[in-house]
Structure 1
Amino acid sequence: MAEHNFLAGLRLGAGDTCVDVGCGDGGATAELVRAHVKAIGVDPDPAVIAAASARTPGAVFHVAHSGDLPLEDESVDGYHAANLFHLLPDPLPTLAEAQRVLRPGGRIALIGQDYGFLMLDSDDQDLTDVIGLGLESRWVAPRAARSYRDLLLGTGFDEVEVRVHARVTTDYGQLADDLAEAASASVKKALITREDADGWLAEQADRGRRDRFLGIAPILMVTGTR
């Protein structure tokens, strides 16, 4: 839902301009171009900007941080940021930049997973909840997405709307690496033992082999008007 409906949330038309902040390899930027929107991709990583430029030559790309955009005041109609705010120790400089570059009446769409909630089926739900804390520890602000509405209202955006999509995964292989890292992080934080971690991972892998694996994560999209 969120990844594919952000264009509707931004209410952009052909010829409008939108900045994709934290664009990564440019997937959303490419979608903007396909919708005949003038797209600007921004990311602090030169390598991913190079990949995004090759992927979507019809867009403009900049190597820059979300808190210091190389754009003029009130120069864009839309602002899109997906999977960004859980990486930010302080979201306010980034939101101040969004306010600065958006034209009056421009729209913002923030998209992200709340890493404080990942539902996993398990024979030991208490242990699973503890390992969830290990998953959170991988991010600077793992629960940032649940604060999107408050942040937008607090920084002057209007017409703030929240949509939630449950991302369902029944393929253990898609999450195997993340779960292994979460379990190891829980051991490192002395929340569980290595034996606990290995036993839990073995159970999840067995669920995968038997087609009994289930993971559900909430993806939030919050939109607003400048």
Structure 2
Amino acid sequence: MSFLERIEERPGAAELRAASYRMLGLKRGATCVDVACGAGHAVAELVRKGLKVTGVDADPDAVEAARQRAPGAMFHVAHSAELPLEAGSMDGYRALRLFHLLADPVPTIVEAHRVLRAGGRIVVGGQDYGFLLIDSSDQDLTDVICLGLESRTVSPRATRTLRDVLLDAGFSDVEVAVHNEVVTEHALMAPQLKSAAAAAVEKALITQEDADGWLAEQARRGRRDRFLAVVPTLLVGAHR
């Protein structure tokens, strides 16, 4: 739960959530489901906008935290491909930070199509790990280390397929937007950097010496205010 909290409270996270709400374009009183709701940050904000919100997450601990954050919402512990909602019962559907965890996005999108009313609005997306940018004096090594980070994820590049998946599922007016989070504070990315380097070593993509040297360089960049990472998130919206 502390990880989920940190993700949603990082600089830029509130802006990303707001961008997804604008893409949803729902009016007060509309029904909306937030799938993979995590600790409930988006659910709470959507409730304050006057929406009737249902939060869904497969993690019971996440749902409990979300209930405390947004007591005015309805919650369910369920998988994204099996929502305990009636067909056509939702005006809006939102799911971010989900698809990199799924081996196949199709059942989740098909289920979204089922629970949305005709004309309803969907917004899905998340980080595509293949687009992560980290500045370094050795960019080739950095690119290999980023491949290590991808190896820790079920579907690291799933988000780029969502436009096709939505069209195949019968959605229309599909639009794609890119939200970039620029990170210049090394401490915010340090855990991910260590995880990426460790994974690259485990996969025999680099040596431990390579990893240690790269991590040391990134730490030095942080101390000199020279650290830079750009984390793009794709938002894909459509009509049912």
TM-score by length of structure 1 reads 0.98
1:116-127 matched pairs, under 5 angstroms: 116-127=130-141
Whether contact under 8 Å (1:2, 1:221) holds in the other structure is no
Partner of 1:168, secondary structure, is strand
Match of 1:24 in 2: 38
Confirm whether residue 160 of structure 1 aligns to residue 174 of structure 2.
yes
Confirm whether residue 84 of structure 1 aligns to residue 102 of structure 2.
no
Match of 1:130 in 2: 144
Structure 1 residue 8 displacement after superposition: 1.8
Whether contact under 8 Å (1:21, 1:79) holds in the other structure is yes
Match of 2:125 in 1: 111
Confirm whether residue 218 of structure 1 aligns to residue 229 of structure 2.
no
Alignment root-mean-square deviation, CA: 0.8
Partner Cα distance (2:106, 2:136) in 1 = 38
Structure 1 residue 10 displacement after superposition: 1.2
- The one-letter code sitting in structure 2 at the alignment partner of 1:159 is D
Q: Which runs of 4+ in 1 moved over 4 A?
A: none
- Compare 175-184 and 148-157 and name the one that shifted more: 148-157
Partner Cα distance (1:72, 1:54) in 2 = 25
- Aligned pairs, how many? 226
Task: Choose the corresponding residue for 1:150, options 144, 153, 164.
Answer: 164
Gaps of 5+ in 1: none
TM-score by length of structure 2 reads 0.93
Whether contact under 8 Å (1:2, 1:220) holds in the other structure is no
- The one-letter code sitting in structure 1 at the alignment partner of 2:111 is E
Structure 1 residue 150 displacement after superposition: 1.1
- The one-letter code sitting in structure 2 at the alignment partner of 1:115 is Y
Match of 1:69 in 2: 83
Identity of aligned residues (%): 61
- The one-letter code sitting in structure 2 at the alignment partner of 1:67 is A
